[in-house]
Amino acid sequence: MTIDHFREYCLSFKGTTEDLAFDENTLVFKVPGRMFLLTNLENFEYCNLKCNPEKALELREKFMQVTPAWQMNKKHWNSVIFTGDLIGKKIEDWITDSYNLVVEKIPKKLKTQL
């Protein structure tokens, strides 16, 4: 997966914005103002995704490329390394899950604006 395809996919979700919230290399995707994904522009080898706590543990057990996200709440965030069978559809599914998880938690008034 290229960074261009990755960005295009993330930005395809309603209400999604991107910015460099932490530094000039950390690209953050948000829906309205709440993070659902982070990746490094300079070293595009992995991303951090928000995840349901039970599913986060399940994915870590099943895939060696999935680990607790560094410097994030490890209960709710996974790091996913883009290697092998994780490129493509699985990553896209997990990005979608991350987006939906965040949208689920936003106030009703903001949801209607999406």
Q: What SS3 state is found at 31?
A: strand
The CATH number of the domain holding residue 25 is 3.90.1150.30
Helix, strand, coil % in the chain, rounded to nearest 5 = 40, 25, 35
**pLDDT (tens place) for every residue of the chain, 114 residues total:** 789 999 999 999 999 999 998 999 999 999 988 999 999 999 999 999 999 999 999 999 999 899 999 889 999 999 999 886 666 678 999 999 999 999 998 888 777 767
pLDDT given for residue 97 in this prediction: 97
pLDDT given for residue 86 in this prediction: 62
Q: Around 95, how many Cα atoms within 13 Å sit in the side-chain half-sphere?
A: 26
Number of neighbours of residue 75 by Cβ within 10 angstroms: 11
Q: Write out the residue range of the structural domain in which residue 98 sits.
A: 3-113
Q: How many domains would you assign to the chain?
A: 1
pLDDT given for residue 19 in this prediction: 96
